[in-house]
């Protein structure tokens, strides 16, 4: 049974390989320090943090997240290490909470690799603190124990690191915060809180291939759950009741599920006021389910391999069994146990994947235009909407354990961050093997599809699109937008065109910001375009002088709050002459790629997800058809 600790309480650690799970309800930084027998941390090289996540026997997350899993191997720690201190801090400069008193009480649980609970601790009583020492693992007389600490620091990460005895603590704190901000460009933002606690309950069961408890909920420690298959039953609807109004009921002719089996999946089987909101919540639930069930599978495989290594070490350490038939039999038995555990974990994963795949097969055809892939028949009945949706699809995501199971990547509207389509060699095999010119053309094609969807999902007159193409090099790719008449003006070219467009949009942002802050929106000029603005910039920074670069940074930082959004097509290497000056710009944008690339991370366990950009079906005329309807009645 898992021990629930209070501040200052100690507990023995019966395992050497552990997982520390942290849940805070909001993204936090998780790190750890290694101390000697006096608790002294020798220097920054003894600190594991997002910028340097791995030390011997210790690994932490590379980003800020609401849920973390820290891996600790006490047997692999340096000989001089007698203490592991787990640190939590709120990220700075990201717009999130600035004190722990404004977030749910952080919860930490120590488990074995198979999910068996050891001890947990809910850190209560925090207020103005923005950093906290959560736990300590310490060695006394050859045995390891843990202590619930809960020491908060109003002085933040710098004060906490200084208290650990680290020289130049402020410099290290800045390094950590910078690494976290850089990580924002590769992370998928978590959706806002679910609309009812019932949806959390719906996702509470199973998805634990290793047999352990599910990760903690957003606001309280996790309770043990059953390890059966995913329950797709709506928590507030009887299994025999009809589905929600307008919901697809799955494939025709599917009989009711046998007793003890999960019900057939239903599109829109999540909480929400409308079908679109229910489908949005359902897609995010599927994303979270796949993240957690894959994490459980990987944890179970790690446990199986660790157990085999330990058994083989015992065999090799005993001279009597090191050689001969007894040794061979012991080694074969260890491998057989590992194979059995791995097979059981894979079977549990395959079971969950089969159910998620069945749900995806029902959900995908039921998605509205804003969420649907370009090959979805819903596009053939497209009409300009009367109101904007709550989210938009920017592509698909998948994990290597289930490459055929694609989860739609839905991003809330209005966009809180600009978009960056990376036209450089991102490191993926697909990008490395492509010709430079072809990769750049594909990047602009991808940006056009993103822009077309954003236009298509907004009411007529609610979205104005501008294009800057300084060298005119993307005329072919931009033709669907320019030729359909949906642009506010032809693509701007040359330095003069760049300056003109940026000047107008910068002035608009300044006017609207002043009007909003002064409560005088009725005093805005009558000819001001009140529609949301989308600026597409190709081949940045070509054609940009220092003034233009400063204006673009200003639009990226201040524009989203007043309805001006950026869609940048650029290779970061082309801007390397600017050095760190442009680092804040890249961090402020959500990086997308024109080819598959595993650069996005989920906010729960930090998996590296492969992003699949949108594609038009071969030979399809749907883009032209949609844009012609968008353009009818005048440009956006």
What would the pLDDT profile of 489-526 be if each residue is shown by its tens digit?
999 999 999 999 999 999 999 999 988 888 887 888 88
Query: Chain-centre distance of CA 410, in angstroms?
Result: 11
Sheet-wide strand order for 564-570? 463-468, 532-540, 564-570, 418-422, 589-592
| Residues 218 and 198: beta-carbon distance below 8 Å | no
Residue 635 pLDDT exceeds 70? no
CA pseudo-torsion sign 499, 502, 505, 509: negative
Query: What is the model's pLDDT at position 425?
Result: 82
pLDDT over 80 at 230, yes or no:
no
Q: Buried b / exposed e across 337-371, counting CB within 10 Å, b at 16+?
A: ebeebbeebbebbebbbebbebbbebbbebbbbbb
The residue-averaged pLDDT of 461-469 equals 95
- pLDDT at res. 329: 82
How confident is the model over 541-589, as pLDDT tens digits? 999 999 999 999 999 999 999 999 999 999 999 998 888 889 889 988 9
The predicted pLDDT at position 253 comes to: 39
Is pLDDT at 484 greater than 80 in this prediction? yes
**Angle (nearest 5°) at CA 297 between 295 and 301:** 115
Q: Environment class of residue 562 by beta-carbon count within 10 Å: exposed (0-12), middle (13-18) or buried (19+)?
A: middle
Distance CA 66, CA 22 (A): 8
378, 354, 353, 356: which is closest to 365 by C-alpha? 378
- What pLDDT shows up at residue 321? 61
The pLDDT of residue 627 is above 90: yes
**Using H for helix, E for strand and C for coil, what is the string for 594-611?**
CCCEEEEECCCCCCEEEE
Question: Does position 96 have pLDDT exceeding 60, yes or no?
Answer: yes
Mean pLDDT confidence for 387-400:
95
Strand 564-570, strand 17-35: pairing: unpaired
Query: For 380-406, what is the mean pLDDT?
Result: 94
- pLDDT above 60: residue 58: yes
Strand 418-422 with 564-570, pairing:
parallel
At 187 the pLDDT is: 67
Q: What percent of the chain has pLDDT over 70?
A: 85
pLDDT of residue 371: 97
At a CB cut-off of 8 Å and minimum separation 6, what does 115 contact? 208, 210, 211, 212, 213, 296, 299
- The more confident residue out of 183 and 394 is 394
Rank 24-28, 257-261, 398-402, 529-533 by mean pLDDT and report only the highest: 398-402
Helix (H, G, I), strand (E, B) or coil at 630: helix
Q: Tokens at residue 185, please?
A: 């460009």
* Interval 297-305 mean pLDDT: 84
203-218 pLDDT per residue, tens: 333 332 333 323 333 3
More confident residue, 520 or 628: 628
Provide the pLDDT for residue 237. 30
Domains for the chain: give ranges and CATH numbers.
3-186 (2.60.60.30), 202-372 (no CATH), 415-624 (3.40.50.300)
Does residue 429 carry a pLDDT above 50? yes
CB-CB neighbours of 500 under 10 Å: 14
Does the structure show a pLDDT above 70 at 115?
A: yes
Flag whether pLDDT at 247 surpasses 50.
no
Higher per-residue pLDDT: 264 or 363: 363
| pLDDT, position 138 | 94
Measure the CA–CA gap between 390 and 283, rounded to whole angstroms: 13
Partner residues linked to 601 by β-bridges: 187, 608
Q: At what angle do helices 156-163 and 169-183 cross, to 10 degrees?
A: 130
Per the listing, tokens 């603590």 go with 169
- Per DSSP, helices labelled H in 494-612 are 494-517, 546-558, 583-588
The region that residue 388 occupies, defined by phi over 0 for left and psi between -120 and 50 for alpha, beta otherwise, is beta
Strand ranges in 38-192 using DSSP code E only, listed in sequence order: 47-48, 54-55, 58-59, 65-73, 83-89, 107-112, 117-122, 131-140, 143-153
Calpha distance 28→130 (Å, rounded): 10
pLDDT at residue 262, rounded to an integer: 63
Residue 379, φ and ψ in degrees, nearest 5:
-65, -25
Assign 30 to helix, strand or coil: strand
Q: What pLDDT band is residue 323 in, cutting at 50, 70 and 90?
A: low
Q: Mean pLDDT for the chain?
A: 84
Residues 69, 194 contacting (CB under 8 angstroms): no
225: pLDDT strictly greater than 50: no
Q: Which pLDDT band holds residue 241 (cuts at 50, 70, 90)?
A: very low
Q: How does pLDDT run across 337-384, given as a tens digit for each residue?
A: 889 988 998 999 999 999 999 999 999 999 999 999 999 999 999 999
pLDDT higher than threshold 80 for residue 258 = no
Task: Please report the pLDDT score of residue 636 as a whole number.
Answer: 47
The answer, yes or no, to whether residue 43 has pLDDT greater than 50, is: yes
pLDDT at 427: 64
* Cα angle 446, 379, 473; round to 5: 25
Calpha distance 516→530 (Å, rounded): 13
């Amino acid at each position: 049974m898992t021990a629930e600790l209070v501040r200052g309480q100690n507990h023995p650690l019966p395992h050497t390989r552990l997982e520390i799970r942290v849940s805070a309800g909001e993204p936090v930084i998780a790190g750890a320090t290694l101390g000697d027998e006096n608790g002294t941390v020798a220097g920054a090289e003894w600190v594991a943090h997002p910028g340097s996540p791995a030390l011997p026997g210790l690994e932490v997350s590379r980003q800020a997240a609401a849920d973390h899993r820290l891996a600790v191997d006490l047997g692999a720690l340096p000989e001089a290490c007698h203490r592991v201190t787990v640190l939590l801090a709120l990220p700075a400069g990201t717009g999130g909470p600035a004190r722990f008193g404004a977030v749910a009480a952080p919860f930490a649980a120590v488990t074995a690799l198979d999910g068996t609970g050891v001890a947990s601790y809910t850190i209560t009583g925090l207020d103005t603190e923005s950093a906290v020492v959560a736990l300590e693992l310490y060695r006394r007389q050859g045995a390891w124990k843990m202590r619930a600490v809960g020491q908060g620091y109003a002085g933040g990460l710098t004060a906490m690191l200084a208290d650990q005895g680290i020289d130049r603590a402020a410099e290290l704190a800045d390094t950590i915060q910078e690494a976290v901000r850089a990580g924002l460009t590769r992370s998928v933002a978590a959706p806002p809180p679910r609309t009812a606690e019932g949806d959390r309950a719906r996702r509470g069961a199973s998805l634990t291939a290793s047999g352990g408890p599910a990760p903690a909920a957003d606001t309280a420690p996790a309770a043990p759950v059953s390890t059966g298959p995913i329950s797709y039953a709506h928590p507030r609807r009887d299994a025999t009741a009809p589905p929600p109004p307008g919901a697809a009921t799955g494939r025709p002719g599917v009989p009711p599920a046998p007793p003890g089996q999960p019900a057939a999946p239903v599109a829109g089987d999540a909480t929400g006021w409308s079908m679109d909101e229910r489908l949005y919540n359902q897609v995010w639930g599927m994303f979270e389910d796949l993240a957690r069930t894959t994490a459980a599978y990987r944890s179970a495989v790690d446990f199986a391999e660790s157990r085999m290594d330990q058994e083989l070490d015992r065999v090799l350490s005993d001279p009597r069994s090191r050689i001969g038939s007894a040794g061979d039999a012991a080694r074969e038995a260890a491998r057989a146990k590992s194979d059995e555990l791995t097979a059981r974990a894979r079977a549990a994963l395959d079971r969950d994947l089969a159910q998620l795949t069945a749900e995806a097969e029902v959900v995908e055809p039921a998605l509205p235009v804003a969420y649907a892939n370009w090959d979805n028949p819903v596009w053939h009945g497209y009409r300009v909407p009367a109101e904007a949706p709550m989210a938009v699809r920017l592509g698909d995501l998948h994990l290597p354990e289930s490459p055929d199971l694609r989860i739609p990547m839905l991003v809330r509207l209005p966009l809180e961050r600009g978009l960056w389509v990376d036209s450089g060699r991102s490191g993926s095999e697909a990008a490395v093997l492509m010709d430079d010119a072809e990769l750049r053309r594909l990047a602009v094609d991808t940006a056009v599809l993103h822009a077309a969807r954003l236009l298509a999902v907004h009411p007529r007159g609610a979205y104005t699109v501008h294009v800057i193409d300084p060298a005119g090099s993307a005329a072919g790719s931009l033709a669907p937008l320019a030729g359909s008449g949906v642009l506010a003006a032809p693509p701007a070219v040359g330095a003069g065109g760049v300056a003109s467009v940026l000047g107008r949009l910068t002035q608009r942002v300044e006017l609207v910001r002043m009007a909003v802050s002064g409560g005088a929106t009725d005093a805005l000029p009558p000819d001001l375009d009140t529609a949301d603005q989308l600026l597409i910039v190709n081949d940045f920074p070509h054609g940009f002088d220092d003034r233009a670069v400063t204006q673009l940074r200003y639009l990226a930082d201040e524009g989203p709050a007043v309805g001006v959004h950026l869609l940048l097509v650029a290779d970061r290497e082309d801007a390397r002459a600017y050095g760190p000056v442009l680092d804040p710009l890249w961090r402020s944008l959500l990086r997308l790629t024109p080819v598959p690339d595993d650069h996005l991370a989920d906010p729960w366990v930090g998996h590296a997800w492969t992003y699949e950009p949108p594609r038009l079906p071969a030979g399809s005329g749907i883009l032209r058809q949609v844009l012609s309807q968008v353009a009818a009645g005048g440009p956006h």
